[in-house]
């Protein structure tokens, strides 16, 4: 069945442009496509592969060497005067569950020890050389694999080393990664390694959606006929790509253009110099795509919109995006005087047509939700606003603007009832809801799971696996991971009197049963399930702000330690799963920000719901051990025999062996110690909410803690 044609995709202009630019100049570093499911991300990437020019390869070379300039270190070389052939450029898809050896290739160390020869089996990166590498759901890959991919894309070379043996080969490819942010974010240091990023979403225009459905149904009905209808358009686009590739070496980046690029990158305070380099390469590719040999301001504008947004994220709670007005101002500041005759007037902020910022000033037709304009948060969200919902005015509106509380469905229905500063609200009307904001998160105390696991790579609890420091060896019968060279040679040497020396005299005879494999100890990521009491007893804005800040700090800690997170809340008469276990801590932070308080305290129901979430998640992801964090003052006031039922449920959780932490939120002079009692029933670590911080990050938080 023929692939869906690239030119048949409806809309997605920005994604289309980013893919084409990386095809013209693979040195840009690839494209990361972020967006919700069902937005044609994979369809466009697979269709693009059909537009790539054919490549000449050395016959029989597993590494696709170019006969005109073969790789001098090719494992199948050296190539001199050899026959060649022409074939289409490849699209290699990397599955989420691929092991590192499948990606980069593998050295057969057993054969090297036994026969004294180097036997290298190429991986997926070798197959993608001079073509495309597509990684769907790249955010679900282990971090070390993502780093390996990005290193190869940046260096255009793969090096595999095992126990002193080393093999290297060329690997130049167009890297395309797609991800759904709801399933977890890539870390900023990995985001920075992608050249460009594009945010995609489904169209809200009814006519455009109808056209998408019409074309898709026509394709599924007769793929060959549908593709034939767009064959001429695809062929014309392929010719334009080839022409732009040919023109690219002639494109000139003038000093003025480089100054503009530097001015823009400095204005957005991006880290390092990769942003400047990628923006320059992208601007040159855009100029070639437009048929020009000199980079213009428009090329830099387009390149900046694609190369900078993801480099502005320094933590998972930062919103992606780029301010259009700030971009235009930076471009204007760097323009030479002859291009910007009005720049001598420091008070003139208008564009050439007299309107603020010119035609690309980030107005309503240009900006979008990431502009940070005055209408983003709506009225009442200013820094002095401290309405009954304890919205942004109760916290730090400039720290996390995406976590605002403007959703009308969460507004308190009867704000005139109840005292928002009441310390104990269990006797208040159950429908009364309040909200408190958050302070800046701090570095949280480390909580770990007892014992040693074997789950996903991370940075929290002790684990045994294929990564980490070597703590011993396993015999041949328990082979896993990499062979341990020294232990293997020792085992073979002990048998040398019986076997005699090798024929070449180079060492002992090594047999498969002599192999010893390294036992390694590292760290794993866990499931951190937060069970948060949001009842009336937690309803004091001061207390709830402190609690939310502590929980937000735990979420930031979970992000840094590669954990999955889940959120269970309980109030009034029930508990609910506010967020099923996910890798997206920014979604958890948003749910926490929206969390209402009020009503009685169904502690037993909260613990029961948490136990059910843990049971289901153990079936889905059994290798990831859980850490339950119960955030409560220990009160239980909802339903008959509330406290006794809560303690009975806690006893059951303790018998299940779940590692638990009770974060005690009780405050004031008269303390009942109920949370400490609950921790004893759970067999949990007990910690006061004020003791969660390992180290405050800001002067303001330090002052509050004093």
Interatomic CA distance for residues 565 and 286, integer angstroms = 41
Burial code (b: 16+ CB inside 10 Å, e: under 16) for 172-209 equals bbbbbbbbbbeebbbbbebbbbbbbbbbbeeeeeeeee
Contact present, 600 and 535 (Cβ < 8 Å): yes
Can you read off the two tokens belonging to residue 20?
């084409």
Interatomic CA distance for residues 422 and 538, integer angstroms = 9
Cβ neighbours of residue 151 under 8 Å, at least 6 residues apart? 193
Cβ neighbours of residue 112 under 8 Å, at least 6 residues apart? 118, 119, 165
Cis peptide leading into residue 72 (ω within 30°): no
> Could you tell me the sign of the dihedral formed by the alpha carbons of 41, 43, 45, 51, in that order?
negative
Q: Rounded to whole angstroms, what are the CA distances from 296 to 13, 285, 362?
A: 21, 12, 20
Reduced to 3 states, what is the DSSP secondary structure of residue 285?
helix
Closest-CA residue to 537 (of 588, 626, 598): 598
One DSSP character per residue, 164-186 reads: TEEEEEE--EEEEEEE-GGG-PP
Interatomic CA distance for residues 278 and 306, integer angstroms = 10
Catalytic (active site) residue 496: no
Q: Rounded to whole angstroms, what are the CA distances from 677 to 434, 481, 530, 633, 663?
A: 28, 45, 19, 10, 12
Which of 274, 516, 561, 624 does the annotation list as catalytic?
A: 274
Catalytic residue positions?
Answer: 274
């Amino acid at each position: 069945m023929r692939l869906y044609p690239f030119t048949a995709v409806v809309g997605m202009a920005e994604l289309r442009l980013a893919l084409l630019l990386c095809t013209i100049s693979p040195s840009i570093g690839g494209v990361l496509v972020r967006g919700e499911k069902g937005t044609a991300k994979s369809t466009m990437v697979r269709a693009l592969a059909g537009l790539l020019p054919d490549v000449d390869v050395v016959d029989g070379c597993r590494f696709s060497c170019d006969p005109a300039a073969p790789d001098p270190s090719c494992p199948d070389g050296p190539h001199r005067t050899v026959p060649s052939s022409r074939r289409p450029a490849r699209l290699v898809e990397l599955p989420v569950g691929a092991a590192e050896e499948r990606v980069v290739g593998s050295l057969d160390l057993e054969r090297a020890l036994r026969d004294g020869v180097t036997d290298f089996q190429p991986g997926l990166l070798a197959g993608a050389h001079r073509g495309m590498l597509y990684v769907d759901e790249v955010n679900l890959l282990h971090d070390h694999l993502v780093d390996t991919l990005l290193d190869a894309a940046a260096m255009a070379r793969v090096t595999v080393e095992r126990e002193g043996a080393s093999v290297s080969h060329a690997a130049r490819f167009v890297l395309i990664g797609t991800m759904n942010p709801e399933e977890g974010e890539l870390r900023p240091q990995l985001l920075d390694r992608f050249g460009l990023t594009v945010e995609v979403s489904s169209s809200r225009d009814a006519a455009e959606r109808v056209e998408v459905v019409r074309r898709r149904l026509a394709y599924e009905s007769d793929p060959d006929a549908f593709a034939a209808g767009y064959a001429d358009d695809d062929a014309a686009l392929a010719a334009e790509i080839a022409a732009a590739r040919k023109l690219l070496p002639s494109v000139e980046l003038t000093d003025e253009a480089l100054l503009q690029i530097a001015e823009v990158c400095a204005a957005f305070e991006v880290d390092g110099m990769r942003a400047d380099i990628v923006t320059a390469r992208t601007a040159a590719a855009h100029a070639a795509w437009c048929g020009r040999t000199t980079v213009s301001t428009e090329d830099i504008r387009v390149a900046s919109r694609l190369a900078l947004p993801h480099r502005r994220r320094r933590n998972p709670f930062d919103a992606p995006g780029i301010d259009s007005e700030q971009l235009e101002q930076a471009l204007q500041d760097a323009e030479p005087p002859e291009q910007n005759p009005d720049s001598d007037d420091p008070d003139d902020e208008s564009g050439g047509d007299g309107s603020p910022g010119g035609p690309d000033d980030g107005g309503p037709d240009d900006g979008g939700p990431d502009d940070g304009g005055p209408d983003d948060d709506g009225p009442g969200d200013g820094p002095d606003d401290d309405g009954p919902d304890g919205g942004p005015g109760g916290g730090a509106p400039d720290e996390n603007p995406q976590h605002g509380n403007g959703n009308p469905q969460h507004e308190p229905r009867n704000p005139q009832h109840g005292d928002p500063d009441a310390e104990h609200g269990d006797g208040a009307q159950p429908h009364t809801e309040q909200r408190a904001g958050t302070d800046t998160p701090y570095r949280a105390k480390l909580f770990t799971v007892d014992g040693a696991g074997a789950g996903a790579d991370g940075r929290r609890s002790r684990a045994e696996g294929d990564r980490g420091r070597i703590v011993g060896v396993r015999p041949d019968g328990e082979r896993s991971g990499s062979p341990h060279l020294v232990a293997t040679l020792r085992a073979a040497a002990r048998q040398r009197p019986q076997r005699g020396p090798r024929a070449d005299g180079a060492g002992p005879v090594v047999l498969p049963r002599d192999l010893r494999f390294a036992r390694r100890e590292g760290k794993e990521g866990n499931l951190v399930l937060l069970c948060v009491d949001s009842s009336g007893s937690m309803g004091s804005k001061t207390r709830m702000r402190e609690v939310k800040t502590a929980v937000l700090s735990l979420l930031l800690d979970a992000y840094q330690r590669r954990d999955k997170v889940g959120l269970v809340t309980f109030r009034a008469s029930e508990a609910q799963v506010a967020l099923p276990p996910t890798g997206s801590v920014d979604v958890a932070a948003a749910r926490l920000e929206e969390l209402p308080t009020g009503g009685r305290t169904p502690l037993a129901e909260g613990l029961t719901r948490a136990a059910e979430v843990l049971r289901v998640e153990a079936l889905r992801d059994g290798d990831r051990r859980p850490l339950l964090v119960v955030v409560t003052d220990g009160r239980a006031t909802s339903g008959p025999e509330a406290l006794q039922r809560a303690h009975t449920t806690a006893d059951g959780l303790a018998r299940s062996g779940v590692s638990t932490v009770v974060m005690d939120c009780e405050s004031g002079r008269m303390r009942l110690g109920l949370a400490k009692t609950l921790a004893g029933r759970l067999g949990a670590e007990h910690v006061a909410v004020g003791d969660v911080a390992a180290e405050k990050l800001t002067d303001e938080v330090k002052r509050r803690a004093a």
